[in-house]
């Protein structure tokens, strides 16, 4: 179904940003929204196809998809779209030029999270599942509303190789972050995913220790098993949708400013005509991967529902775009949070497998909080709460 935006919506200052080292896509306003019959992947794909091919809209369709794909996504054609291509397109628009804080603000201890990890390991060891990703939240408040443009700019300056994203969610707030993880890219039918799983906090100021941590990560049976679950599932989805699929036998290491990840580039080619529907169907088949949910998926979802005490919403969902030719790029909505006025809710998760240590997973989530917390600290901070 093609649904034109209302006059009020078109006048709304909705802003979308998706920025990579190669390009920056910015959208303002809402020209038309994607309104499928249901939020199943096939219906969403058909609605996107209709909007771009029969709705008279050039596109692209932009927005975000929640962790729980049975819930509504935010997908629309912006009123105005600008592209900026070239090296360093992630850029620093909106940044005041100040460096992010060297350390993140102190975040509260979370005994409840460690207990959730312990209970998850018990269920894994009992054979209920192999892996689950458990997340936690923290809230940072300021003396005045956060400047979203500045947050986006500071995130780009601090994370030049990340996917910098911003999506306005109406009364819910604004989703902002710097994701390290590509879920699906399509360029003229060539499709790529770069899943990350298995990680260790890094010491950015100590290259020798970084090299040692890299060696340990590559040799870690726990981290390689965790990564293997994700790559196997991504490879299976690629084989259902694509030809000439290549899945690496060995992972590499991807370094962000705060953490080292095991990563594998999976590639293939869509067999038929390149189309928005083909990309969206494959995207919904991939999501959620074991990188943000677990394995097997139904069992992991049940454990998440039992042990997490908050609604993920758009956290660990997808953010990105697709155009009328079926080109597009979608990243996981990680390393960020939702900002509403002077309040920012941060999210971070860790993959739990047999042998996971609650204190280590708590420490990993604290490290992941730091990506967003450091740029928030550039603006006046008042309190931090769970």
Residue 307 reports pLDDT greater than 50? yes
Domain edges within the chain = 2-93+110-385
Residue 1 reports pLDDT greater than 50? no
pLDDT band at 5 (very low <50, low <70, confident <90, very high): very low
Q: What is the pLDDT of residue 86?
A: 78
Query: Do the Cβ atoms of 263 and 42 come closer than 8 Å?
Result: no
Read off the pLDDT of residues 9-32 as tens digits, 9 standing for 90 and up.
Answer: 334 569 999 999 999 999 999 999
Residue 318 reports pLDDT greater than 50? yes
Q: What is the pLDDT of residue 4?
A: 43
Q: What is the pLDDT of residue 373?
A: 93
- CA-based max dimension of the chain: 58
Q: Which two tokens stand for residue 295?
A: 């394995």
Read off the pLDDT of residues 264-302 as tens digits, 9 standing for 90 and up.
Answer: 999 999 998 889 999 999 999 999 999 999 999 999 999
* The dihedral sign for the CA sequence 53, 56, 61, 65: negative
Q: SS3 string of the chain?
A: CEEECCHHHHHCCCEEEEECCCEEEEEECCCEEECCCCCCHHHHHHHHHHHHHCCCCCCCEEEEECCCCCCCCEEEECCEEEEEECCCCCCCCCCCCCCCCCCCCCCCCCHHHHHHHHHHHHHHHCCCCCEEEEEEEEEEEECCCCCHHHHHHHHHHHCCCCEEEEEECHHHCEEEEEECCEEEEEECCEEEEECEEEEEECCCCCHHHHHHHHHHHHHCHHHHHHHHHHHHHHHHHHHHHCEEEECCCCCEEEECCCEEEEECCEEEECCCCCCHHHHHHHHHHHCCCCCCCEECHHHHHHHHHHHCCCCCCCCCCEEEEECCCCCEEEEECCCEEEEECCEEEEEEEEEECCCCCHHHHHHHHHHHHHHHHHHHHCCCEEEEEC
Q: Which two tokens stand for residue 187?
A: 């360029």
Please classify residue 28 by burial: count the beta carbons closer than 10 Å to its beta carbon, then call 0-12 exposed, 13-18 middle and 19+ buried. Answer: middle
Q: What is the pLDDT of residue 95?
A: 47
Residue 172 reports pLDDT greater than 70? yes
Q: What is the pLDDT of residue 258?
A: 87
Between these two residues, 279 and 378, which has the higher pLDDT value? 279
364 closest CA partner among 376, 348, 377, 346: 348
Q: What is the pLDDT of residue 109?
A: 84
19 closest CA partner among 287, 379, 321: 321
Residue 140 reports pLDDT greater than 50? yes
Distances (CA, A) of 288 to 90, 145, 167, 285: 26, 32, 19, 8
pLDDT band at 88 (very low <50, low <70, confident <90, very high): low
Q: Which residues are catalytic?
A: 131, 181
Alpha carbon distance 152, 58 (integer Å): 26
Q: What is the pLDDT of residue 273?
A: 86
Tokens 């060539």 — which residue? 190
The 10 Å Cβ neighbour count of residue 349 is: 25
**Proportion of the chain above pLDDT 90, given as a percent:** 81
**Proportion of the chain above pLDDT 70, given as a percent:** 89
Q: What is the pLDDT of residue 56?
A: 75
Let me know the angle formed at the C-alpha of 161 by 155 and 162, rounded to the nearest 5 degrees. 55
Alpha carbon distance 263, 258 (integer Å): 15
CATH topology of domain 2-93+110-385: Anthranilate synthase (3.60.120)
Q: What is the pLDDT of residue 382?
A: 59
Residue 8 reports pLDDT greater than 90? no
Distances (CA, A) of 336 to 80, 162, 168, 243, 264: 25, 12, 14, 34, 23
Question: What average pLDDT does range 148-166 have in this prediction?
Answer: 96
Compute the residue count for the chain: 386
| Range in 94-98, 282-286, 366-370 with the lowest mean pLDDT | 94-98
Q: What is the pTM of this model?
A: 0.91
Question: What average pLDDT does range 218-243 have in this prediction?
Answer: 95
Q: Cis peptide leading into 60, omega within 30 of 0?
A: yes
Contacts of 22 (CB under 8 A, 6+ apart): 85, 86, 87, 89
Question: What average pLDDT does range 246-258 have in this prediction?
Answer: 94
Tokens 């940003």 — which residue? 17
Q: Which two tokens stand for residue 6?
A: 């209302």
Question: What average pLDDT does range 208-224 have in this prediction?
Answer: 94
């Amino acid at each position: 179904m093609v649904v034109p935006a209302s006059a009020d919506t078109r006048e709304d200052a909705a802003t979308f940003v998706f920025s990579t080292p190669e390009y920056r896509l910015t959208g303002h306003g809402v020209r038309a929204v994607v309104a499928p019959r249901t939020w199943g992947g096939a219906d969403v794909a058909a609605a996107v196809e209709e909007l771009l091919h029969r709705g008279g809209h050039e596109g692209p369709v932009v927005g975000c998809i929640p962790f729980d794909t049975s819930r509504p996504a935010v997908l629309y054609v912006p009123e105005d779209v600008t592209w900026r291509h070239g090296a360093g397109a992630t850029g620093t628009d909106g940044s005041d030029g100040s460096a992010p804080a060297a350390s993140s603000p102190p975040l509260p201890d979370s005994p409840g999270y460690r207990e959730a990890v312990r209970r998850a390991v018990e269920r894994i060891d009992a054979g209920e599942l192999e892996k689950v990703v458990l997340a936690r939240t923290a809230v940072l408040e300021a003396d005045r509303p956060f400047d979203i443009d500045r947050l986006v700019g500071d995130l780009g300056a601090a994370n030049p190789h990340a996917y910098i994203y911003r999506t306005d969610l109406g009364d819910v707030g604004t989703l902002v972050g710097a994701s390290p993880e590509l879920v699906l890219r399509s360029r003229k039918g060539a499709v790529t995913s770069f899943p990350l799983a298995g990680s260790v906090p890094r010491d950015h100021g100590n290259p020798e220790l970084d090299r040692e941590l890299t060696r340990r990560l590559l040799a870690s049976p726990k981290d390689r098993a965790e990564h293997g679950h994700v790559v196997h599932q991504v490879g299976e989805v690629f084989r259902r949708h694509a030809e000439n699929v290549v899945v690496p036998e060995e992972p590499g290491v991807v370094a962000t400013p705060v953490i080292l990840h095991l990563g594998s580039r999976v590639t293939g080619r869509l067999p038929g005509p390149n189309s928005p529907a083909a990309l969206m169907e494959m995207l919904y088949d991939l999501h959620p991967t074991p990188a943000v949910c677990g394995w097997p998926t139904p069992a992991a979802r049940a454990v998440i529902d039992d042990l997490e005490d908050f609604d993920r919403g758009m956290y660990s969902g997808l953010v990105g775009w697709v155009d009328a030719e079926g080109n597009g790029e979608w990243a996981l909505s990680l390393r960020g949070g939702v900002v509403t006025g002077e309040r920012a809710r941060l999210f971070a998760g860790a993959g739990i497998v047999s042998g996971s240590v609650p204190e280590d997973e708590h420490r990993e989530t604290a490290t992941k909080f730091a990506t967003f917390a450091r740029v928030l600290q550039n603006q006046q901070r008042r309190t931090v709460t769970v």
